[in-house]
Amino acid sequence: MKGRGAPHPSIMRLVAKSGGNRGKGRIELLEKIAELGSIASAAKALGLSYKAAWEAVEGMNNLAATPLVARVSGGKSGGGTVLTPFGLQALSAFQRLEGEYQRFLEALQGHDDFEQFFRLMRRFDMKTSARNEFLGRVKVVKKGAVNAEVVLDIGNGLALVAIITNESVDNLGLAPGVEAYALIKAPWVIVTAADSPIKTSARNTLCGVVTRCQTGAVNGEVIIELESGKSIAAIITNESIESLQLKKGVRACALIKASHIILAVSP
């Protein structure tokens, strides 16, 4: 055991790192939204772009059973962004846990084996390139000869169907009631008009209202907000955006093939 003077260097790096990671950064964003009542003001106060702030909010809402952040309209300022009652409760809990976390780090200092296990813990802190992440519980697992169909309940009457191998089902320990994540890359999402008569082979259809539509050099990003408050992002061509007449306020549907959904579980 080392002396109880300065904190262990790895602990200091962990504390410093926590200031910029997704978990801590998102808590700070919630705090600023609660304080300022505007996501634009919160983003400016934290040095974030408006787009990055909204992506963080959309990610939090998708991973929560109930949305943490909601838009409001009317009033002298013409509207803004606020934390929902559940969001306020979550923020309070996060703040209490942050205090416990700091005390936990202080208790670790001085342990000779901390450096080794710190590196191991950092490997578990996985991030993915998937733009869409949904948290839910497995409803049904139906195995076939090679592949299995897994139905994931993501709340508010919404479900996603994924096709994965039987081996993956066993490795992930998937069974009814197990909590799992659905990861969907934005380019894998097909967008159609809400009233389109076209029939497709895609097993999953999520409909809602376009809240953002940003074109780039060739492709554009379309964000569709579902009635549940969750949202899904798609990357499609500018030509498709124009032909579908996609813009803020237009109803649209996101189609996802079952084979394009990746399932993951927490260790």
**Measuring CA to CA, which residue among 151, 134, 149, 142 is closest to residue 189?**
134
Does residue 22 have a pLDDT over 70? no
Does residue 21 have a pLDDT over 60? no
Could you report the per-residue pLDDT of 189-247, keeping only the tens digit for each?
Answer: 999 998 888 888 899 999 999 999 999 999 999 999 998 889 999 999 999 999 999 99
Query: What is the rounded average pLDDT of the residues 156-171?
Result: 95
Q: What pLDDT was estimated at residue 79?
A: 63
Q: What pLDDT was estimated at residue 129?
A: 79
Residue 1 identity: M
Q: What pLDDT was estimated at residue 130?
A: 87
Averaged pLDDT of the chain: 84
DSSP 3: -
Q: How far apart are CA 31 and CA 44, in angstroms?
A: 13
The beta strands (E) that lie in 23-165 are given as 69-73, 79-83, 132-143, 147-155, 158-165
* Distance in angstroms between the alpha carbons of the first and the last residue of the chain: 30
Written as one string, the DSSP assignment of 194-253 is TT-----S-SEEEEEEEEEEEE-SSEEEEEEEETTS-EEEEEEEHHHHHHTT--TT-EEE
Please give the backbone phi and psi of residue 114, each rounded to the nearest 5 degrees, phi first: -65, -40
Query: What is the rounded average pLDDT of the residues 92-105?
Result: 77
**Is the pLDDT higher at 109 or at 6?**
109
Could you report the per-residue pLDDT of 37-65, keeping only the tens digit for each?
Answer: 999 999 999 999 999 999 999 999 998 88
Please give the backbone phi and psi of residue 212, each rounded to the nearest 5 degrees, phi first: -145, 145
**Measuring CA to CA, which residue among 201, 203, 214, 216 is closest to residue 246?**
214
Q: Which pTM value belongs to this model?
A: 0.73
Which residues are within 8 A (CB) of 216 and not within 5 positions of it... i.e. 6 or more apart?
Answer: 238
Could you report the per-residue pLDDT of 177-198, keeping only the tens digit for each?
Answer: 999 999 999 999 999 998 888 8
Element (DSSP H or E) covering residue 184:
strand 179-184
Are residues 209 and 198 in contact, defined by beta-carbon separation less than 8 angstroms?
no
Does residue 9 have a pLDDT over 80? no
| 88 exposure class (CB count in 10 Å sphere: 0-12, 13-18, 19+) | middle
